[in-house]
Structure formats: structure tokens, C-alpha cells
């Protein structure tokens, strides 16, 4: 006698068929599945180790940079000079202090070149080179920094240093052209009051007094609260700061 299956029984049979098919597929592909699981586990371990290594490398880079900065910023006191004190060194003069700091910064740059600490060390190496008159090395270090820095907090200061080198090396006319182009651009990366001030300084150094005065005047008018405004007013004959809210 034929017997009709209930809907519940049909669903149960379909479920069992599905489970059976899945089990059969797993048995056939067990080795592949184990390989995939193993690969995922290995990848997770590798990522964790890489992250841990990267973190430790950054910490070591920061520690090395801090040690170099302690030396570079150490006080100069001939009476109590003690360059061998690792935590609070003192030096006979600024030259000996820079000579002690330079290899430390170079070590940070060599060992941790791709890190933020390595980038900062490069900027300081340029500063030390400039202090001893090695403008070629200073320019190389600073240009390398600017090329990699992006919006780093030291980027503006290093670019100003490069502008100062341009003026001292007779590249003032080129710098004027570049500064005017930066001022006319929509996004040059540097504050415009700084650019107007550097333009005025450069025009002054070239003996182009009228143009320099115009640049100072533009700075005063457009950026009256700028840190450079007081100096600019002295050059324009307007010594008094404007009164706001009157």
C-alpha cells in the first residue's frame, strides 16, 4: 500500500541527503581543507610576528633617536663638562657636542631608515652639517627629508632651511620664482604668511628693495596676526600693530 510522506518527513530526508553529501565532500577534500586551515593559521602567526617585530623595531628606533637628541641638546659648560654621562652629558663647546651627536643620528638613519625616527635623524644630520659649513651635505640631507616627509611636523622648518641655503649660495632669483609660484598655487603645503616672509627676505637679499617692501606690506595686510607681521611692519614703516575690534 502506497504511503504518502508528510512534509516534515520530506524535509528530514532532504536534510539528511544534504548532510550526507557534505560529509562525503569533506571526506574527499579533507586534505585540501586541512591545507587551507593550516595556511590560514600560518598566515595569522606570520602577521602577528611581523606586527610584533615592527612594533619592537619602532621602539628601538625611538630609543636610539632619544639618545641622540639627549647628546645634541646637552648643555655646554666647560667647567663641568662630562661627555661620558649617558643620561645628562655636558660638553666643552657646541662643536664637540655636535661631533658626539652626529654618529648617533647617523646610526639611527642607517639602522632605521624607513621609520619616523630615521627621517628625523636625517633632518638633524643636515643641521649638523650646516653648522660646520658643509652645505653640500646639509642640502642632500634636507632634500632627502623633504622628499620623504610629506606633512611631517618638521617639513616646514627644513624647507625654510633649504631656502636659506639657496639665498646664501646665490640662488635667490630661482627662489623668488619658486616662491611666487607657491603663493599662486592652491595647495603648496606651507603657510602663506611664511611664504610671503621668505619672499620678502629673498628680495631684500637681492637688493630689490621696492619688491621686498611690497611683499612685507602684503604680509601685514593679509596676515596681521602672523608671527612674522611685527618684523614686516618694521620694514614697511608701520611699527604699530592694528587695533582689532575698534
Residue 243 has pLDDT above 50, yes or no: no
Residue 90: helix, strand or coil by DSSP? strand
| Residue 127 binned pLDDT confidence (cut-offs 50, 70, 90) | very high
Residue 200 has pLDDT above 60, yes or no: yes
Nearest to 162 by CA among 183, 185, 140: 140
What are the backbone angles phi and psi of residue 226, rounded to the nearest 5°?
Answer: -65, 155
Q: pLDDT (tens digit, 9 = 90+) per residue, 9-65?
A: 545 555 556 656 656 666 666 666 555 554 555 455 445 444 444 567 788 999 999
CA 187/CA 203 separation, integer angstroms: 23
DSSP-assigned letter for residue 226: S
Using alpha carbons, list the distances in angstroms from residue 92 to 23, 66, 70, 85.
Answer: 81, 21, 15, 13
| Residue 189 binned pLDDT confidence (cut-offs 50, 70, 90) | confident
Handedness of CA 214, 179, 160, 126 (dihedral sign): negative
Question: Which pLDDT score is estimated for 186?
Answer: 61
Contact by Cβ (8 Å): 123, 142: yes
Percentage, residues of the chain above pLDDT 70: 73
| Full-model pTM | 0.71
Q: pLDDT (tens digit, 9 = 90+) per residue, 67-126?
A: 999 999 999 988 888 888 877 899 999 999 999 999 999 999 999 988 999 999 999 999
Residue 246 has pLDDT above 60, yes or no: no
CA 49/CA 43 separation, integer angstroms: 10
What are the backbone angles phi and psi of residue 91, rounded to the nearest 5°?
Answer: -130, 160
Amino acid at each position: 500500500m502506497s504511503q504518502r510522506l508528510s512534509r516534515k518527513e520530506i524535509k528530514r530526508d532532504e536534510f539528511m541527503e544534504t548532510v550526507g553529501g557534505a560529509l562525503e565532500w569533506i571526506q574527499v577534500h579533507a586534505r585540501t581543507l586541512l591545507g587551507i586551515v593550516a595556511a590560514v593559521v600560518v598566515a595569522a602567526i606570520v602577521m602577528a610576528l611581523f606586527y610584533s617585530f615592527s612594533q619592537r623595531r619602532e621602539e628601538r628606533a625611538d630609543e636610539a633617536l632619544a639618545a641622540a637628541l639627549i647628546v645634541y641638546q646637552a648643555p655646554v659648560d666647560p667647567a663641568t663638562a662630562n661627555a661620558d654621562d649617558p643620561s645628562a652629558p655636558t660638553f666643552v663647546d657646541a662643536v664637540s657636542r655636535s661631533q658626539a651627536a652626529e654618529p648617533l643620528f647617523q646610526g639611527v638613519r642607517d639602522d632605521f631608515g624607513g621609520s619616523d625616527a630615521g627621517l628625523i635623524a636625517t633632518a638633524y644630520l643636515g643641521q649638523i652639517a650646516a653648522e660646520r659649513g658643509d652645505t653640500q651635505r646639509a642640502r642632500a640631507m634636507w632634500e632627502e627629508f623633504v622628499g620623504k616627509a610629506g606633512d611631517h611636523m618638521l617639513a616646514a622648518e627644513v624647507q625654510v632651511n633649504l631656502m636659506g641655503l639657496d639665498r646664501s649660495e646665490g640662488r635667490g632669483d630661482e627662489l623668488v620664482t619658486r616662491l611666487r609660484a607657491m603663493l599662486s598655487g592652491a595647495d603648496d603645503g606651507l603657510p602663506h604668511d611664511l611664504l610671503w616672509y621668505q619672499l620678502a627676505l629673498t628680495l631684500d637679499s637681492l637688493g630689490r628693495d621696492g619688491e621686498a617692501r611690497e611683499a612685507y606690506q602684503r604680509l601685514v595686510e593679509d596676515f596681521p596676526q602672523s608671527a612674522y607681521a611685527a618684523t614686516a611692519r618694521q620694514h614697511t614703516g608701520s611699527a604699530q600693530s592694528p587695533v582689532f575690534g575698534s
